[in-house]
Amino acid sequence: MTDTQTPIPDGYRLNDKGHLIPVDKIKEIDLLRDETVNKLVNHAKALQTHIMSIKDIVFDEFNSFLQISAQEYDTVLGGKKGNVSITSFDGKYKVQIAISDNLVFDERLQVAKSLIDECLRDWTADSNDNVKAIIDNAFAVDKEGKINIRRVLSLRSLNIVDEKWQKAMQAISDATQVISSKEYIRFYERDEHGKYNQISLDFANL
């Protein structure tokens, strides 16, 4: 079935194979199912359109406030304004914009892994089994054959005084590339214990 819209004559329904079926040949339960699905999807599409318009308004108002605030210091903010929070006067509400980077590694990750393997061979009996386990876990691949970027980057926090290791960590840093960024906006409400809880906009959490 293609995406091309097929004209549907009165008294017919289009099935999932693109065939026109007379309505009187379709079971009542199938007609009701079709009606229910279409009604629910139309609700979802209307909600999606509303959320998209609200999203634009929210980002515009947030960024407009940041510019007004910056004017007090005779400056203008440019670029994406991530990881910024503002709170209401009474502290009950908080709005936060965060930026999430989509990271990938280039070929220099293989250089880093080679240097790390050399370190492990050089350390031999003096090496720490826990460090080996951390390294093995960092470079383990998932079911899709992908490496967990955060685990690899966490190796840089290990306090290991070794020139070759430091070169490997530099290679990891150099191999890390930001291919895209995405802005998120989150809303929080403070409870009676002073904890900020996120105001969920996810159907599953409502």
pLDDT of residue 206: 75
Cross-sheet strand order for the sheet of 84-87: 84-87, 93-105, 176-190, 196-198
pLDDT of residue 201: 86
pLDDT of residue 1: 45
Rounded CA separation 85/98 (Å): 9
**Contact residues for 125 (Cβ-Cβ < 8 A; gap 6+):** none
pLDDT of residue 98: 87
3 pLDDT more than 60: no
Report residue 79's pLDDT band, with 50, 70 and 90 as the boundaries: low
Rounded CA separation 115/162 (Å): 11
19 pLDDT more than 60: yes
Rounded CA separation 190/44 (Å): 30
**Contact residues for 169 (Cβ-Cβ < 8 A; gap 6+):** 112, 155, 156
3-state secondary structure of 42: helix
pLDDT of residue 143: 82
pLDDT digits (tens, 9 = 90+) for 120-169: 888 866 666 777 888 888 888 888 888 899 999 999 998 888 899 999 99
Contact 112, 171 (CB under 8 A): yes
Mean pLDDT check: name the lowest of 47-61, 68-82, 113-127: 68-82
**Contact residues for 97 (Cβ-Cβ < 8 A; gap 6+):** 59, 62, 81, 82, 83, 84, 85, 183, 184, 185, 186
pLDDT of residue 93: 96
Name, of 29-43, 50-64, 115-129, the range with top average pLDDT: 29-43
